[in-house]
């Protein structure tokens, strides 16, 4: 039986024994294991039912630890690390040979970040190894932003969820890779394109991959609830087309009235995209638990974190 606990000492013991602990970060909860333990890493893939071709993100305590796993840091990567670490930025960099190939799906690059969460940082500081920690959910399902989400997913599959409260940002990290030293966005996330461009200038997005992704979160279908989800620019007209269906609605800021709407989740009445992003997955978990016929989500404004929210919703509809 999975136990939700705030006992960091116990989490350290479990991880040192080559087992898994779900850990809090400011983005989502991660399913963590020692990157140098083949047993632990294979269990991550097994528990999540995640394909081995999908690389994992390595979590470090501090930028000083980066030299242990990375062989080259382009100048613009250094600028981004200084601007956003600890934080919701993952950099894909050339790896050292000591990083196991199973972590990187056989690629010569490794995805790495420093989480901005006090519990995660305290845990990492107490460990003698970095942690691989993909989101603590079955492959393609909605990421967890509360400890109870993880327990609901895995109950008897993992020994512990380290309690860290609700995830502040609620969306996965933004992932940036480098080609010829120039940055590319591999995954839209909790740091907006605009924020990235303030540091390194204009940047392109390369965030789609069918079978051999350069980074996590690039597959076409991802982040999906069990309930069929639809994305629309006009909630009112879409809901009216399905009067015989039990519908849950995911709205940015406004309510919608119809007799067939079982529940509506409004993410930000003040139209704050950061607030909306932080509540997105929690709202999807709530709607998905109602056994509805469908979830209808409103398309968000196409700027800032609205781009990241739309990216998650579009992948959920595939």
Count of the separate structural domains present in the chain: 2
pLDDT tens string 221-278: 778 899 999 999 999 999 999 989 999 999 999 999 899 999 999 999 999 999 999 9
pLDDT tens string 26-48: 999 999 999 999 999 999 999 99
Q: 210-214, 223-227, 273-277, 313-317: which range is least confident on average?
A: 210-214
Please, which pLDDT band fits residue 318 given cuts at 50, 70 and 90? confident
- Do residues 52 and 13 both lie within one domain? yes
What CATH number did the domain enclosing 274 receive? 3.40.50.11030
At which of 205, 237, 255 does a domain end? 205
Cβ distance 229 to 247 under 8 Å?
Answer: no
Whether 210 is covered by a domain: the verdict is: no
| Dihedral, CA of residue 273, residue 294, residue 262 and residue 267, to nearest 10 | 0
Q: 155-164, 205-214, 267-276: which range is least confident on average?
A: 205-214
Q: Which pTM does this prediction carry?
A: 0.95
Whether 9 is covered by a domain: the verdict is: yes
- Do residues 181 and 105 both lie within one domain? yes
Whether 222 is covered by a domain: the verdict is: no
Whether 60 is covered by a domain: the verdict is: yes
Supply the range of the domain harboring residue 7: 3-205
Whether 284 is covered by a domain: the verdict is: yes
- Do residues 63 and 120 both lie within one domain? yes
- Do residues 75 and 165 both lie within one domain? yes
- Do residues 22 and 164 both lie within one domain? yes
Whether 270 is covered by a domain: the verdict is: yes
What CATH number did the domain enclosing 152 receive? 3.90.870.10
Whether 224 is covered by a domain: the verdict is: no
Whether pLDDT at 209 is above 70: no
- Do residues 265 and 157 both lie within one domain? no
Report the C-alpha gap between 52 and 163 in whole angstroms: 28
Whether pLDDT at 208 is above 80: no
């Amino acid at each position: 039986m999975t136990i939700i606990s705030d006992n960091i000492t116990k989490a350290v013991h479990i991880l040192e024994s080559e087992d898994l602990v779900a850990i809090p970060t400011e983005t989502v909860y991660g399913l963590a294991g020692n990157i140098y333990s083949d047993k632990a890493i294979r269990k991550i893939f097994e528990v999540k039912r995640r394909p081995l071709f999908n690389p994992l993100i390595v979590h470090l305590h501090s930028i000083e630890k980066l030299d242990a796993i990375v062989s080259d840091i382009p100048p613009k990567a250094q600028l981004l690390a200084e601007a956003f670490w600890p934080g919701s930025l993952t950099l894909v960099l050339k790896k050292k040979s000591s990083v196991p190939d199973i972590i990187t799906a056989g690629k010569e690059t490794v995805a790495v970040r420093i989480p901005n969460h006090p519990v995660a940082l305290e845990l990492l500081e107490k460990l003698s190894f970095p942690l691989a920690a993909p989101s603590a959910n079955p492959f393609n399902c909605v990421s967890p932003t509360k400890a109870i989400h993880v327990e609901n997913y895995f109950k008897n599959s993992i020994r512990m969820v380290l309690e860290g409260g609700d995830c502040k940002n609620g969306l996965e990290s933004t992932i940036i890779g480098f080609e010829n030293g120039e940055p590319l966005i591999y995954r839209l996330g909790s740091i907006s394109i605009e924020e990235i461009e303030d540091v390194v200038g204009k940047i392109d997005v390369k965030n789609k991959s069918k079978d051999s992704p350069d980074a996590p979160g690039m597959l076409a279908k991802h982040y999906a609830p069990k309930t069929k989800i639809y994305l629309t620019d006009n909630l009112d007209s879409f809901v009216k087309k399905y009067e015989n269906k039990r519908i849950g609605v995911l709205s940015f800021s406004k309510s919608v009235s119809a007799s067939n709407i079982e529940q509506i989740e409004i993410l930000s009445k003040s139209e704050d995209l950061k607030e909306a992003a932080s509540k997105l997955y929690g709202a999807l978990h709530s709607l998905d638990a109602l056994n509805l016929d469908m979830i209808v989500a409103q398309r968000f404004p196409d700027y800032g974190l609205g781009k990241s929210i739309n990216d998650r919703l579009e992948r959920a509809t595939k």
